[in-house]
Amino acid sequence: MTISSFHPPRRTLMGPGPSDVHPRILEALGRPTLGHLDPLFVGMMDETKALLKYAFQTSNELTLPISAPGSAGMEACFVNLVEPGDKVLVCVNGVFGNRMIENVTRCGATAVRLDFAWGTAVEPAAVEAALKEHGDIKILAFVHAETSTGALSDAKILCGLAKQYKALSIVDAVTSMGGVPLMVDEWQADAVYSGSQKCLSCTPGLSPVTFSDAAVAAIKGRKHPVQSWFLDMNLILGYWGEGGKRAYHHTAPVNALYGLHESLVMLQEEGLENAWQRHASMHKALAAGLETLGIRFVVDADHRLPQLNSVYIPEGIDDATTRQYLLAKYDLEIGAGLGDLAGKVWRIGLMGYSARIENISLLLKALAAAMGEQGIACDAAKAVAAAEATLV
Ligand SMILES: *Cc1c(COP(=O)(O)O)cnc(C)c1O
């Protein structure tokens, strides 16, 4: 058998990530590969760091992309800050909080687990009570934008509580960066990680991270070496660090970094505030359209993520049948529910380049058709009109 080149169809990606990659970014990925120590490439790395500082709203010197997906950014924050014997307070309101617990345990530390109902935000009062009760929490960890449920937590208040109780904060901002306000310096967040494939609309596989001075001091003052060689920030700095000689650590994913650079240039061109505004207004349009189809949100209006919309699957509609129909007939992907929400909800992403009215109209038409096929008549034109009416 001869296997020939792979040519994927052009899908519309409206799930929990990856999001639609902008054509400008796809084009950037195909530019000539440079050596990873080429002075021109090193110059582009410095620009990427500067652009990431803007995206994170930070002046942290230690701001760079980890050469691996968001999960590696998560792991980088935990393995560098957590030492055996430490106590880490982990807020769990979805899938990604559970993964944080896994990370803490594997670092030989104790995870103090604080659970919140899926689909709700982390409650600051409960976090403060736990910080007070334990008194020796070294790190507070939480997910800013829970992609598994669509809930947004108040990172400003939570990071403030960490400071007040002399703890460091680890913040999962994989889905928040570029989609909702993320103000690392103003909120005094200590270690924050993100991902390339959500609201930055880049290809999957890179994870921007940033560490505050307090976090860097904690890394430098460790009693035990970082358990991961690849993710040890002390070593990564030898390659990504400011000034001095760039030493080989690993071969940077050169072309993937062209893509990230392009996505960050586009974010700068649009302006962060405008990007947040675009996600908010597209969310409003989607919500108006879904409402006419009788589809309800999982998360209450005050804590909804504009870029990730969890909605209940209507009575009489089958989850898998619908998602397969959208993919087969409309080349359109939406996300399934996870954990307790599996089979009960859909997760509709409006991330980055996916957050466009054309995508929303396509989704509303496709959903109405899928529901019609299953015997629930819906007015697609009315749904699209309702969505468009929010934009005028
Ligand atoms: C997607 C996601 C991750 C993991 O990122 P990967 O690139 O899939 O490894 C972590 N946290 C949150 C909140 C996410 O949405």
CATH of the domain at 175: 3.40.640.10
Select from 252, 268, 284 the last residue of a domain: 268
For range 202-209, the mean pLDDT = 98
Looking at residue 374, which CATH number applies to its domain?
3.90.1150.10
Mean pLDDT of the chain: 97
- Is the preceding omega at residue 8 within 30 degrees of 0, hence cis? no
40 and 163 fall within a common domain: yes
Distance 146 CA to ligand 1 centre (A): 9
**Cβ distance 64 to 264 under 8 Å?**
no
> For residues 178 and 163, what is the distance between their CA atoms, to the nearest angstrom?
25
312 and 336 fall within a common domain: yes
**In the numeric block, which tokens belong to residue 116?**
């919140």
**DSSP-assigned beta bridge partners for residue 89:** 112, 140
Which pLDDT score is estimated for 1? 85
Q: State how far Cα 51 lies from the chain centre.
A: 17
User: Which residue among 96, 197, 231, 309 has the greatest number of ligand 1 atoms within 8 angstroms of its CB, and so is best to mutate?
Assistant: 96
pLDDT tops 90 at residue 201 = yes
Distance 136 CA to ligand 1 centre (A): 29
pLDDT tops 90 at residue 242 = no
pLDDT tops 80 at residue 271 = yes
Residue whose entry in the numeric block shows the structure tokens 């994870």: 207
Is 9 inside any structural domain? no
Q: Using alpha carbons, select from 42, 33, 73 the residue that is nearest to residue 238.
A: 42
pLDDT tens for each residue of 214-237: 999 999 999 999 999 999 999 998
Select from 246, 268, 290 the last residue of a domain: 268
Is 1 inside any structural domain? no
Q: Using alpha carbons, select from 128, 120, 194, 115 the residue that is nearest to residue 157.
A: 128
pLDDT tops 90 at residue 48 = yes
206 and 231 fall within a common domain: yes
Which pLDDT score is estimated for 239? 84
Parallel/antiparallel/unpaired status of strands 139-143 and 168-172: parallel
> For residues 202 and 258, what is the distance between their CA atoms, to the nearest angstrom?
10
For range 154-168, the mean pLDDT = 98
For range 234-263, the mean pLDDT = 89
**In the numeric block, which tokens belong to residue 285?**
């349009």
Q: Which residue, by CA, sits nearest to atom 8 of ligand 1?
A: 70
Q: Which H/E stretch holds residue 203? A: none
Burial class (CB in 10 A: 0-12, 13-18, 19+), 73: buried
> For residues 256 and 360, what is the distance between their CA atoms, to the nearest angstrom?
28
How many domains are contained in the chain?
2
Contacts of 117 (CB under 8 A, 6+ apart): 93
Select from 223, 239, 268 the last residue of a domain: 268
pLDDT tens for each residue of 94-115: 999 999 999 999 999 999 999 9
Is 310 inside any structural domain? yes
Is 6 inside any structural domain? no
pLDDT tops 70 at residue 368 = yes
Distance 195 CA to ligand 1 centre (A): 7
pLDDT tens for each residue of 275-308: 999 999 999 999 999 999 999 999 999 999 999 9
Distance 41 CA to ligand 1 centre (A): 27
pLDDT tops 80 at residue 244 = no
262 and 315 fall within a common domain: no
3-class DSSP assignment, residue 298: coil
Parallel/antiparallel/unpaired status of strands 207-211 and 62-66: antiparallel
244 and 232 fall within a common domain: yes
83 and 228 fall within a common domain: yes
Is 15 inside any structural domain? no
Which residues does ligand 1 sit against, CB inside 6 Å? Answer: 17, 69-71, 74, 96, 143, 147, 172, 174-175, 195, 204
262 and 311 fall within a common domain: no
**Cβ distance 190 to 82 under 8 Å?**
no
Neighbours of 391 (CB within 10 A): 12
Is 5 inside any structural domain? no
166 and 315 fall within a common domain: no
Residue 211 domain boundaries: 23-268
**In the numeric block, which tokens belong to residue 379?**
């007015």
346 and 263 fall within a common domain: no
pLDDT tops 80 at residue 243 = no
Which pLDDT score is estimated for 43? 95
Q: Using alpha carbons, select from 184, 228, 202, 180 the residue that is nearest to residue 74.
A: 228
214 and 340 fall within a common domain: no
pLDDT tops 80 at residue 69 = yes
349 and 289 fall within a common domain: yes
Q: In this prediction, what percent of the chain has a pLDDT beyond 90?
A: 96
For range 5-25, the mean pLDDT = 97
Q: CA gyration radius for the chain?
A: 21
303 and 361 fall within a common domain: yes
Is 11 inside any structural domain? no
Is 17 inside any structural domain? no
Q: Using alpha carbons, select from 245, 224, 191, 156 the residue that is nearest to residue 66.
A: 191
